[in-house]
Amino acid sequence: MTELDTLLDSLLETARKLDAADPLAGFRDRFLEADGVSAYLDGNSLGRPLRATAVHLQDFVREQWGGRLIRGWDEQWLELPQRLGDQLGAAALGAAPGQCIVADSTTVLLYKLARAAVAARPGRTEILLDADNFPTDRYVMEGIAQECGLTLRWVQADYDGGVTAAAVAAAAGPQTALAVFSHVAYRSGFLADAGAITKVVHDAGGLVLWDLCHSAGAVPAELDAWGVDYATGCSYKYLNGGPGAPAWAYVATRHQETFAQPIQGWLGSADPFGMAQGYAPAPGIRRLVSGTPPVLGMLPLQDMVSLIAEAGIDAVRAKSVLLTEYALRAVDALLVPHGVVVASPRGAQRRGSHITIDHPAFKAITAELWKQGIIPDYRNPSGIRLGLSPLSTSFEETFTGVAAVQAELLRRR
């Protein structure tokens, strides 16, 4: 047996022991498996579907849509965005009822929230954001800045890190209208100190909009406790809502009655079925709605929110930390000796549920891994992201993925 064989056996044995001791291991059986896939490490891009969802979608078509027809709107569908928003807020976001709603896409909600925020700070001329934020966040803010005659002020972040309170404090000032940051950075996996950063921006008189796309469902949020103004995120990553699932938004109660809806639609009006001339906004969080709720798209999300509530978001986070710690151990042992660089924070308190590793060959290697049923994802300039979704990813699966990356590196020597 070679030294490498011994190392691989040791790492595999550790993974199996961690799986055996995992209190959440039983939840993995709730998810559908994909034929030919031995390691799915892309839950930070698209979560696996739940078995229950396959049943519920079929039942909905037959019993609710097919059976209740138009009556379904009055009976429950119109209230689903707010009801599900409250459930999500309680299970994963640290939000009291009446502040979350499911609607639109992340892009549309970013626009709505940011546009309302800058309107709430007249006379201020700057939007703060970081150059490494997800492209959509940057593009939407570029458009709003052009619309409103504002200036984008860029906050710099380390390549393997993210936005810090100190960096924000150096950029925020009397012209700050809004700051837009990601709770977990899409590339590095850096977990921002949302509470501290929110306080810094508030001390400067600005408002804060947090993007939770890469944290909601895997990393607990405390939107109320942090004093957050606005937040949004998708539901197809750790919330397992499926391709194109609707996004969600949070508006703190204190901002709702003055929220200037930039996309005025009938279902966000005070009396949608009155069909009156002239728009009057609905009270509370419902004024964030514009058009017809995406009911079919909310069904998978509803199942996953219930599962997170059952497991407990703190237990989900504990599993996430153990998974990423194990992944880093495997990367250090198997990949770093071949020139791979860890481009994510080492400390668990500053890391979300994915890690990024860099190597010049990773773009080609990712394509080869996919052919083998090993599914991470690739992000420029040279990174593989290992997305470890706590309720559906095992430690052995993580080992399989890292070992496959090593095998491809060895093959290229």
The per-residue pLDDT for range 276-321, each reduced to its tens digit, is 999 999 999 999 999 999 999 999 999 999 999 999 999 999 999 9
Annotated catalytic sites, by residue?
134, 211, 236-237, 385
Encoding tokens for residue 51? 């078995």
Mean pLDDT value across the chain: 97
Q: What is the tens place of the pLDDT at every residue in 119-172?
A: 999 999 999 999 999 999 999 999 999 999 999 999 999 999 999 999 999 999
Distance CA 137, CA 185 (A): 12
Q: What is the pTM of this model?
A: 0.97
CB 207 within 8 A of CB 198: no
How far from chain centre, in Å, is Cα 204? 27
Q: What is the mean pLDDT of residues 178-189?
A: 97
CB 236 within 8 A of CB 246: no
Q: What is the tens place of the pLDDT at every residue in 60-102?
A: 999 999 999 999 999 999 999 999 999 999 999 999 999 999 9
Is the per-residue pLDDT at 382 higher than 90?
Answer: yes
Q: What is the tens place of the pLDDT at every residue in 218-255?
A: 999 999 999 999 999 999 999 999 999 999 999 999 99
Is the per-residue pLDDT at 1 higher than 80?
Answer: no
Determine phi and psi for 138, rounding to 5 degrees.
-70, -40
* Structure confidence at residue 4 as a pLDDT band (50, 70, 90): confident
Distance CA 302, CA 241 (A): 8
